[in-house]
Amino acid sequence: MTLDRPPRIATWLLEHLAPGPRNESLAGDLLEELRSGRTAGWYWRQAIDAIVIACSRQFLNHATAMLYAMVWTTLVPAWLRAIGSIEQRFNLSQRFGQMDWPWSILCDWGLLLAANLFFLGAGIAIFHLPHLWAARKLSLRPLTHGLLASAPTLLTVWAALVVLPKIFPLQNAANSLDSSPAASAVPHLQVAAMVVRLPFFLVILAALWGTASHHTNHGVSLST
């Protein structure tokens, strides 16, 4: 029996989970084969294969960016500590607190955002420098794109981190951090460090994602 319509779910997954310029032609090829006598099981296998291969390629193309984002964000706790000590030294919280609303909030958050954007910008710039040096071409486009992408992404992730704990309360974990002995507090500290690093990791990755594939070797071999 020849199937006329492809399995809907498999087609949807293929269209949405297999990114790439060849997606449409590939989907057409699978449909052509299905209509020439292949089974639905064959279609499913081919669709899943295509998704796995496309995702692996995406992962490999961006492996450098992911690794870099992980390494760079290990500096986040130290950076936040440095900002905190500068804030304390110049008594900024108190100065901002004396301002009228909304300037007090705007200055406080604005300073934190600017400091964090500086950290992110430095990370993005350092990632691109070796590639620009290797290409012997000064192009500020990837850097500008990265920086422009940083601010909205950072704000979105921060907003999510403010909202999410309200939905999934983490208060118990924070309380146990204060009361528990040192040995059992270590995992909580690790979790806290990861939560602090998460927005920075996501922002750097988002900023580097579009440009990283141009820097990586396109000749990555995938087995059949």
Partner 1 sequence: MTDRSYLGEFELMILLAIVHLGDEAYGVPISRELECHRGRSVSIGSVYAALERLESKELVTSNLGDPTPERGGKAKRYFRITKEGLRQVHETRRVLTRLWQNIPVPKGERA
Interface contacts to partner 1, rule CB under 8 A: 6, 18, 20-22, 24-33, 35, 45-46, 49-54, 57, 218-224
Nearer to partner 1, 56 or 180 (CB): 56
Cα separation, 65 vs 107, whole angstroms: 32
Contact 217, 64 (CB under 8 A): no
Nearer to partner 1, 47 or 208 (CB): 47
Nearer to partner 1, 31 or 115 (CB): 31
Cβ-in-10-Å burial (0-12, 13-18, 19+) of 171 comes to exposed
**Residue in the block written with tokens 């790439």:** 20
CB of 68 to partner 1, least distance (A): 22
CB of 33 to partner 1, least distance (A): 6
Q: Pull the structure tokens for residue 221.
A: 């071999």
CB of 32 to partner 1, least distance (A): 5
Cα separation, 39 vs 75, whole angstroms: 53
Which residues, other chains included, contact 132 with Cβ-Cβ below 8 Å and sequence gap of 6+? 138, 139
CB of 185 to partner 1, least distance (A): 47
Nearer to partner 1, 18 or 76 (CB): 18
